[in-house]
Amino acid sequence: MVEVRYFSILREKLGKDSETLPFEGSVRELKEKLKERYPNAEKLIDAVRVAVNEEYVNDDYKISQGDRVALIPPVSGG
């Protein structure tokens, strides 16, 4: 199982701050799975930065059982 945490506008759109999913594979594959699960958040999921165990990773990074994955949307401000 993998703990997936959602932040900012993504958390608001999904109505939850985290969930535990059965998953093992790349960050890219996780994003695809989440886009299928939450089609209304597809554009946000495409734009997120991903951290695994509190370190930013790229889409090729392999997620393992027990990892904590954070999806962090881009933030704008003034």
Q: Residue 6: give the domain boundaries.
A: 2-72
Number of structural domains the chain divides into: 1
Q: For the chain, first and last CA: distance in Å?
A: 38
- pLDDT (tens digit, 0 to 9) for every residue of the chain, 78 residues total? 999 999 999 999 999 999 999 999 999 999 999 999 999 999 999 999 999 999 999 999 999 999 999 999 987 655
Residue 68's CB: how many other CB atoms inside 10 A? 14
Task: Record the tokens describing residue 32, joined without a space.
Answer: 């695809």
Residue 19 lies in a domain: yes
> Domain of 10: which CATH number?
3.10.20.30
Residue 77 lies in a domain: no
DSSP string, 27-61: HHHHHHHHHHH-GGGHHHHHH-EEEETTEEE-TTP
The pTM is what?
0.92
* Rounded-to-integer distance, Cα 4 and Cα 8, Å: 14
Residue 28 lies in a domain: yes
